[in-house]
Structure 1
Amino acid sequence: MLFRAWIRWMLLHGLQRFYLLWLARRGDPLGQIAVGSDRLLGSSQYIEEIRQRGRIPAMSGVRVTTDYELCRLILRDRRFSVVTPNHRALPKPIRWVMTKTDLGLPNLAEPPAMLVTDPPEHTQYRRLVGQAFSPKAIVKLEERIVEVTDDLLERLQSKPRPDLIVDFSAQLPVAIIAEILGLPAEMHSTLLKWGDTGAPLLERGLAWSTFRHAIEDLVEVKRYFDHHLDGLAAEPGDDVLSLLVKGGELTRREQVANAALLLDAGFLTTVNMLGNGIALLTRHPDQLELLAAQPELWPRAVEEILRYDGPVRMTGRVASCDVDIADQRVKSGCLVLLSLAGANYDNAVFPDPERFDVTRANAADHLSFGSGVHGCLGAALARLEGAIALRALFERYPDLRLDGPPIPHPLRNLHAYRSMPAKLHAD
């Protein structure tokens, strides 16, 4: 399997990695963004350089847009498909090799994970589990989210220098999604490990070592969920994963792939959102003062955090036919990169976008959760967890401050922090 994995890495990441490094050396903004030369805030010089080239300029063999309306339109337009490893727009020899090197693992960036499937398959997967993540269903979890948050904050008290990522931001969402999926509490540390190694698969241009470690963990993920779903098939419960096996609508591969996706997507975004939010709020004490005086603003503050420093910076779509958009012809098979970070800083939609403002009236219009049929299934859960957890943290520890600069995660497209040491009380 290792040789097939290497061939797959070379086609998916290796060649692209070399190309992106070459672009970066030439000063190309896409290359600079891809190799991590910038922290990818919407105000970055590279995103602004792309914006200056037009609404959807052709760059380095692809189309790119930082325009809010175009990003939203393309995300909602059925003439654009999700990007898959063997998309029909690729040359036939490459598609043949991709088929032959299919590892059969639950990779959240490959079909049949619903993140990278189009209707009608996507519709079927989402229908099976969607009701469990509806706003009405999520509201019922509020009491449990408060309980877990309070317990985590109490535990922080005993740590002289707590890490607000490791000890708090990661622990809350993994506890909640594990309960939703019916997974035992003793699995939390393993689930976090799988999420940490699996998240890079959403990037492009990965190093071989990173890809290999992710694949090795996916073997464990597949083994675990195969066994777990066997048990649910024999005796289904009232958890979300039971919905995947009831009725026998899905193949076992579809079940495992989407079980793994629900796990990773259920906490990765929220971990990153909480970490980014803590960093932002500690850098803007005036906004914390506003929130202390008007706690009803916390849900809006979460939206502004998502707009200002969203956890996903860019996504892509492939035109399934020739499309005329913004006075440009996008040819069938053309890859279109959508800068969500750039869209969230579009001055036409968000005036004075570089200002972090928890009172911003239209902050919830951000595209950090996507839009259209692929809009984030767990958006309501992430929003609720964010509002409860951040408010509780800063109300419980009003003198909280970071103990040195937070350590950023090495990922480029997923913007997050790996570590955030803090002091809870004033000296």
Structure 2
Amino acid sequence: MKRRELERWERRLHLGAHPVLYPLIRGLGYRRPVQRIPGLGILVSDAGLLRQVLMDNERFVKHGRSASGGLWTPVVGPKALLNMDGAEHLEMRRRLGGVFTARSVAVMVEPAAARLRDRLERELPAGRGVDLVREVKELSGGVIAGILGLPADAPGRLPDRDLFDLGTSITSLVRLGRHELTPPQAAKARSAVERLAGPARAAYRDGAPDTFPGRLRELGMSEQEALGVVSAFVIVGTETLVSFIPRIVALLADAGRLSALAADRNGLPAAVNEGLRFTVPSPMMLRDAVASGTLGGVRYREGDRLLLSTIHAAKSLGGFDPERTVPPHARQLWFGAGPHFCIGMPLAMAQINSTLESLLDIYARQPWRIVSRRVKHRVLIPGYETLELANE
């Protein structure tokens, strides 16, 4: 019963986000591992072939006109990490390699995580309901402030929720069937980026090494390069985390695993990893072919768009099972692979783990449950509109 319930909610989430494309692509993906879909591109649904594409930065690029990185070039400029390839991209990653230490991640996450923890500790034990989606949006906005180098007491500082809304106003412009942003869409996104860039620019010029922009300056990046990198992390992390954290909480509740995890946290890393595999917070990745060749028996040409269906690659392994051993070719595909493996993974995991630890701490003292939930509709990343928790 529990397995059917959690799988039912998972299907509802995806159908809410993509009522037409989800059943179409899911149905096609089980027919052949690689196939051409007119008007969309070449769908790749096999984990091994998907990893092969991600590892091959010579033939398949992220910065192409219709690939995911190319969408953002008119918004953040050509050097924002998420839209770079080749030697320049590798050099940028090398320079950023030491940025995501435990200390630097804590500086960006802990203030917002502490505010979230205080709200949960205040509301749930008092018998008041908490909308976890709203709370995670506040967390995300607080982390955006950390990325921008914006202290909580800065004059005129936007509230955390407003910072989140600015970030999501950029990411909400992306659609699977949209090969590029229109000029008005790009202008809207640039306007939001510029509002976010103001505090980051000030932090960069101040040069304090305990801020993210100041650390980028210390690494020798120009102001424009630093602002591009800051913008990239705001864009990439906003929607996926606000989608995933309520989903993993719902998944653990639906699977009946909260009591065991509240009593013993040793199983939490495996549960989170399996939650990432099962929910696939990045269900599709995009690449452009820059050469001709054959993949899985299908001929591709220069300029073809590849739809890398991580949702097929991950979900083909079966239902939610934290005891599962994921085969090497499918491991962590939701974070990418090869040169573009998500460099911000430590930042994402810090937000996930801090929220789950806070909720489990409260659950150990006084169990709570999901009292209501609503699915988001017509969005790029499937997720809940609301997920309300309350004491049992």
Query: Does TM, scored on the shorter chain, surpass 0.5?
Result: yes
1:51 corresponds, among 29, 52, 56, to: 29
Q: Where does residue 175 of structure 2 map in the other structure?
A: 203
1:359 corresponds, among 277, 299, 323, to: 323
Contact 2:16 2:375 in 1 (8 A): no
Runs of at least 5 residues in structure 1 that lack an aligned partner in the other structure? 1-31, 88-94
Q: Where does residue 240 of structure 2 map in the other structure?
A: 269
Quote how far apart the aligned CAs of 1:304 are: 1.1
1:117 corresponds, among 84, 106, 115, to: 84
Runs of at least 5 residues in structure 2 that lack an aligned partner in the other structure? 1-13
Return the alpha-carbon distance in structure 1 between the equivalents of residues 268 and 112 of structure 2. Answer: 15
Return the alpha-carbon distance in structure 2 between the equivalents of residues 263 and 277 of structure 1. Answer: 22
Q: Where does residue 100 of structure 2 map in the other structure?
A: 133
Amino acid at match of 2:188: E
The sequence identity of aligned pairs, in percent, is 26
Contact 1:145 1:388 in 2 (8 A): no
Q: Where does residue 251 of structure 2 map in the other structure?
A: 280
1:192 match: secondary structure: helix
How do residues 28-427 of structure 1 correspond to structure 2 at under 5 angstroms? 36-37=18-19, 40=22, 45-60=23-38, 62-78=41-57, 79-85=59-65, 105-106=75-76, 111-134=78-101, 138=105, 147-157=114-124, 160-167=128-135, 169-185=136-152, 186-187=157-158, 188-205=160-177, 215-216=187-188, 218-226=190-198, 228-230=200-202, 232-233=204-205, 235-246=207-218, 249-250=221-222, 252=224, 254-285=225-256, 287-346=257-316, 350=317, 353=318, 355-362=319-326, 365-397=331-363, 399-408=367-376, 410-412=378-380, 414-423=381-390, 425-426=391-392
Point out which structure has higher relative CO (alpha carbons under 8 A, 6+ apart): 2
Return the alpha-carbon distance in structure 2 between the equivalents of residues 325 and 55 of structure 1. Answer: 9
1:120 match: secondary structure: helix
Amino acid at match of 2:62: V
Return the alpha-carbon distance in structure 2 between the equivalents of residues 294 and 269 of structure 1. Answer: 27
1:93-150 deviations in whole A, cap 9, x for unaligned?
xx9xx9xxx99643xxx74322122123322433333321256864898976874553
RMSD: 3.6
Amino acid at match of 1:411: V
Return the alpha-carbon distance in structure 2 between the equivalents of residues 146 and 403 of structure 1. Answer: 24
1:420 match: secondary structure: strand
Quote how far apart the aligned CAs of 1:84 are: 3.6
Return the alpha-carbon distance in structure 2 between the equivalents of residues 318 and 217 of structure 1. Answer: 23
Return the alpha-carbon distance in structure 1 between the equivalents of residues 84 and 219 of structure 2. Answer: 21
